[in-house]
A and B are shown apart, each in its own frame.
Chain A
Amino acid sequence: MTDVAPTEEFLELAGGRVRLLRGGAGEPVLFLHAAGGAGAWLPFHSRLAGAGFEVIVPDHPGFGKSDDFPEVEAIDDLIYHYLDVFDLLGFGPGAARPHVVGASFGGWIAAELAVHSPQLIGSLTLLSAAGLRLPDHPVADVFLMPPAKLAAALFHDPPLDPPLDPSRPGAAPDLDAIIAAYREATSLARFSWVPYLSDPKLERRLARITAPTLVVAPSDDRLIPVAHARRYAALIGGADYAEVAECGHAMHVERPAEFAALVASFLVSHPLAPLSESGVSR
């Protein structure tokens, strides 16, 4: 695999601009980023692109270089937002349909999209996805965690010098970075303060998903307990389930090589079938 550099593009929607990164050639893979992962072309993306896929990474509303889209207030609005993005990317009836890979918050959006419009999804990969409400396995409160604690909670083996910690001794506070992080936290809160990072109705709707699905959980997820991934796998018909050892919540960052290989192997074994004119899949 060789490194693949992305190009930056902007999509013009009625409510604002969506910024995306695109790299590689092959079947399209739409990657929906985690709450903390906007705007980044990660080694994982590069490896996946290098494995023969066209990887498309948009920033969510209110994240990265995408506009705020204030009318996108909740998860249902996000679904319609991404249906608009699908249209602009040329995914839809009579055209291509993408592999959809979502991490954490982005995994929640991916699952909701696959529930809403199962015929539009070529395959679905959920990486430590949020979205389920399991009172016995609560998701850690990311809004109350200080940045240093959050950074440490993302990894099984946290980096010694958490890059997100503006309060570490000796570091000059980067006001722009703090403000940008606050904007993204505000966007996340807009969609998911309550119900907290979940749609209580999602669980009973998961049976609607028809795409081949891979659910991946890290062995040591300190934010979203592994029970969430297991529940996704149990309720999505025929879903494959994999657990990555010695790995924290930010799997695709902590173990990009293992991770890209796992996802690429799943995608290769589920080549995209063309969408019929009737819109009926499989």
Chain B
Amino acid sequence: MKFSFFHLMPYPYLPDDFDSKYDSSALTYPNANFDPALGSALYARYLDELEYADQLGFDGIAVNEHHQSAYGLMPSPNLMAAALTRRTSNARIMVLGNAIAIRGNPLRVAEEIAMLDLLSGGRVDSGFVRGIGWEYFAHSINPVKSRARFDEAHDLIIKAWTSPEMFSWYGANYEYRYVNIWPRPVQRPHPPIYIPGAGSTETMKFCAERKYTYMSVYAPTSIVRRWFDGYRAAAADLGYVPDPEKIAFSVPVYVADTDERAHREARPALEWLYRKGLKQTAEMVTPPGYMSPGSLRGVLSSRPRSLGGLSYEDLLANGQAVVGSPAAVADRLAELYEKLGGFGQLIGLFAIGPSTHEQVMRSAELFAADVMPALRPLGVAAERTTA
């Protein structure tokens, strides 16, 4: 099992009347509520936390991209990754990922990831995401073209990294007469690719065909199990069994010295994450064309309740958060490992909403010292092959 420390870099200072006054923490939540001095201090604190995770022995430290939102303060994850390259030495630097479908110029992503790969000495992992629905409003990209732009941007970036010769690109969404990036990445054939999945069979097949790491987004265990099984089935259709490491389970994790203390501290943090941080309207979640009508029908038919309606106890029972003493967290993750049919990477969200710096650091310390060793033997291929 490999473990990574994932950061959203939230802006936790929401006003007391947030719940009644605003229908989202994104897009329409006025940035008059953002205090740059507090934001600057948060960046310093959050980078310290990611660097500390490297020192603690996490296999990876992870950042991601969000726009116009208090949920996550990283419009450019590559900038944060660049900052991390100079002050970490061992951990993989995981960009999970760049929202290539909403980028006007995806070649820029190929260039920046190549730069990061050189800066980090070949430690960068490159995630590609479509971007959340509200971000199509925020960056004025037509959501109807989301899937086509994602696919084409992906193909372009991979070719830009791997083509032995310069080339031209004429696609439905992008056109370049000269693709000839300097620098090229150091990892061959290119940095490992991570793709988040949320139930789309096309995505499962896309990842299985390319042996990319398939990572879950926050959802109940029974649903994540279906996604992981779908990825395994897509690989089976292609005649292979995926390396466990290609399946990554993402979940918020909070560890404290005792169960009682862990729950007392985690409850408000998780309630913030799911009720405020992820608060958004239906129109922001699924702008027109972001899903096919058929996919929307599937989601509306199966979705039990909105995230905001879940209680803290529901979140724990559903496997949408793991909280407790080191022993309890290790037990629960081992249980989820079984329930999910196995996975080889755990991507933990340790800095949850308004958690304090001290809480996050202590949680990561306890996890590294007492949870990782217990889970380390899980999710390793019996006979490791290079996939």
Contacts and interface: CB of A to CB of B under 8 A. Distances in A.
The CB with the most chain B CB atoms within 10 A, among A145, A146, A186, is that of A186
B300 interface: yes
B287 interface: yes
Contact of A144 (B137, B141, B142, B297): B137
B30 interface: no
Interface in B120-162: 136-137, 140-144
A145 B283 contact: yes
A230 interface: no
A145 B23 CA distance: 12
Interface string B38-56: 0000000000000000000
A193 B293 contact: no
Interface of A is mostly: helix
Contact of A175 (B143, B288, B297): B297
A189 B282 contact: no
B281 interface: yes
Given A144-B284, A175-B301, A189 B142 contact: yes
A82 to B, nearest CB: 20
Interface residues of B, number: 21
A188 B288 contact: yes
B142 A190 contact: yes
B298 to A, nearest CB: 10
Interface of B is mostly: helix
A182 B143 contact: no
B241 interface: no
Contacts of B296: 178-179, 182
A173 B136 CA distance: 26
Contacts of A146: 281-283
Interface residues of A, number: 18
B140 A194 contact: yes
A145 B281 CA distance: 9
Interface string A167-199: 000000101001100110110111001100000
B265 to A, nearest CB: 35
Interface in B268-318: 281-284, 286-289, 293, 296-297, 300-301
A186 B288 contact: yes
A75 to B, nearest CB: 13
A144 B28 CA distance: 10
A143 B293 contact: no
A143 B300 contact: no
Interface in B334-386: none
A143 B136 CA distance: 11
The CB with the most chain B CB atoms within 10 A, among A141, A175, A182, A194, is that of A182
Contacts of B287: 143, 189
A141 B27 CA distance: 13
Contacts of A173: 300
A186 B282 contact: no
A175 B301 CA distance: 8
B293 A182 contact: yes
Contacts of B144: 186, 189-190, 193
Interface string B7-48: 000000000000000000000100000000000000000000
Interface of A: 141, 143-146, 173, 175, 178-179, 182-183, 185-186, 188-190, 193-194
17 contacts: A143-B287, A143-B288, A144-B28, A144-B283, A145-B283, A146-B281, A146-B282, A173-B300, A175-B300, A178-B300, A179-B300, A182-B296, A186-B288, A190-B144, A193-B144, A193-B288, A194-B141
